[in-house]
Amino acid sequence: MITQVEELIELYDQLPEKCIKECTDPGNNIAACDRWVDKLGLNVSEEQCIKLLEEVGAWSIDELEDDSQGDLNLKLLWVAAAYRD
């Protein structure tokens, strides 16, 4: 059984180094993550994003359910880019 964390690691392994750098540079990374979501064509369903992000524990389920699909994909990319072994 693949866990959500393993799925995030798999996504991280597929990200270009430039994406990881831009999405994890100090400061506000929203614009960079938004650009990379578009550039990568990241379009994970709301249900799958919530499932993956819920395990991270940074947001409550209520917060995640209030987010748009675009915001969820942005958070998913940010978490995956920030992942460190």
**What phi and psi, each to the nearest 5 degrees, are found at residue 52?**
-70, -45
This prediction has a pTM of 0.84
- Evaluate whether 42 touches 81 at the Cβ level (below 8 Å): no
What secondary structure letter does DSSP report for 3? Answer: -
Contacts of 79 (CB under 8 A, 6+ apart): 8, 52, 53, 56, 58
Give the confidence band of 82 by pLDDT, cuts at 50, 70, 90: confident
The per-residue pLDDT for 4 is 62
pLDDT score at 20: 92
What residues contact 43, with CB distance under 8 A and at least 6 apart? Answer: 69, 73
Contact 81, 15 (CB under 8 A): yes
Contact 42, 77 (CB under 8 A): yes
Reported as a pLDDT band with limits 50, 70 and 90, residue 85 is very low
